[in-house]
């Protein structure tokens, strides 16, 4: 009798479990409003996935900054050249030159701009004298001096900031410029 009772209870439990499983209401949760809220928060706050950006510009509250960096071009009188955006004027706020190999002769480096070409300077923004056997980092000041005016730091759309190698007062590529190693950087604010 215990056997029949246990079998009956087991069979009844099985039927109840199956009945609950089949009769259970279908619950559907609509998460689309939550998804819209998340998208709205991301759009308002913005998000950057990494501290390293590969875009040449970054914009905050309508102020767009353009940043450039490149290694020296060898065997040329123009070590570095940066072309400003073609759709707006910009103002130079920072430019630097880092020479990481010493040379056997003194060198001069010219910071300048040209509206049409990457290998000339029509407006000199600065000149850096580097003695023999010295590695340097030179930062071009954006404070106007006798040689520069505020308007000199404003670049037309598509103009070039050129950093050139000078020897004896004129652009010249001697044996040193083929082995010179370094880096140039620049930062502009879009007007």
Q: Looking at residue 163, which CATH number applies to its domain? A: 2.60.120
Residue 114: inside a domain: yes
Q: 138 with 181: CB under 8 angstroms? A: no
pLDDT of the residue at 148: 54
In sequence order, which residues have a C-beta less than 8 Å from that of residue 131 and are 6 or more positions away?
106
What is the arithmetic mean of pLDDT over 111-119?
Answer: 87
Residue 58: inside a domain: no
Residue 81: inside a domain: yes
pLDDT of the residue at 103: 74
C-alpha span between 83 and 88 (Å, rounded): 12
| Residue span of the structural domain in which 170 resides | 67-147+154-190
Residue 25: inside a domain: no
Residue 1: inside a domain: no
Structure tokens at 55: 């875009």
Picking from 43, 169, 7, 180, the residue whose alpha carbon sits closest to that of residue 98 is 180
What is the arithmetic mean of pLDDT over 99-115?
Answer: 83
Report residue 34: phi and psi, to 5°.
-65, -40
Residue 6 reports pLDDT greater than 90: no
Residue 110: inside a domain: yes
pLDDT of the residue at 171: 61
Residue 185 reports pLDDT greater than 80: yes
Residue 130: inside a domain: yes
Task: Write down the pTM of the prediction.
Answer: 0.68
pLDDT tens digits, 67-92: 999 998 877 788 899 999 999 999 99
pLDDT of the residue at 132: 79
Average pLDDT, the chain: 77
For the chain, the domain total comes to 1
Residue 191 reports pLDDT greater than 80: yes
Residue 22: inside a domain: no
pLDDT tens digits, 117-142: 887 778 888 888 888 788 888 887 65
C-alpha distances out from residue 41 to 36, 46, 130, 143, 182, Å: 9, 8, 52, 41, 43
Q: Name the helix (H) or strand (E) containing 186.
A: strand 182-190
In sequence order, which residues have a C-beta less than 8 Å from that of residue 130 and are 6 or more positions away?
99, 103, 106, 107, 108, 109, 136, 138
Residue 173 reports pLDDT greater than 80: no
Residue 100: which pLDDT band, with cuts at 50, 70 and 90? confident
pLDDT of the residue at 105: 74
C-alpha span between 96 and 179 (Å, rounded): 19
Residue 160: which pLDDT band, with cuts at 50, 70 and 90? very high
């Amino acid at each position: 009798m215990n056997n029949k009772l246990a079998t009956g209870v087991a069979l009844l439990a099985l039927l109840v479990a199956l009945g609950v499983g089949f009769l259970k209401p279908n619950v559907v949760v609509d998460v689309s409003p939550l998804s819209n809220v998340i998208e709205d928060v991301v759009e308002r706050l913005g998000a950057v996935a990494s501290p390293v950006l590969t875009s040449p510009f970054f914009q905050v509250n309508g102020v767009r900054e353009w940043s450039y960096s490149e290694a020296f071009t060898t065997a040329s009188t123009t070590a570095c050249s940066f072309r400003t955006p073609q759709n707006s004027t910009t103002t130079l706020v920072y430019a630097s030159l880092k020479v990481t190999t010493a040379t056997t002769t003194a060198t001069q480096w010219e910071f300048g701009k040209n509206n049409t070409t990457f290998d000339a300077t029509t407006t000199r923004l600065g000149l850096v004298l580097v003695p023999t056997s010295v590695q340097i980092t030179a930062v071009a000041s954006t404070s106007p001096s006798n040689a520069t005016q505020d308007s000199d730091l404003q670049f037309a759309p598509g103009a070039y900031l050129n950093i050139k190698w000078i020897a004896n007062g004129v652009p010249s590529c001697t044996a040193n410029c083929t082995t010179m190693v370094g880096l140039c950087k620049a930062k502009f604010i879009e007007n």
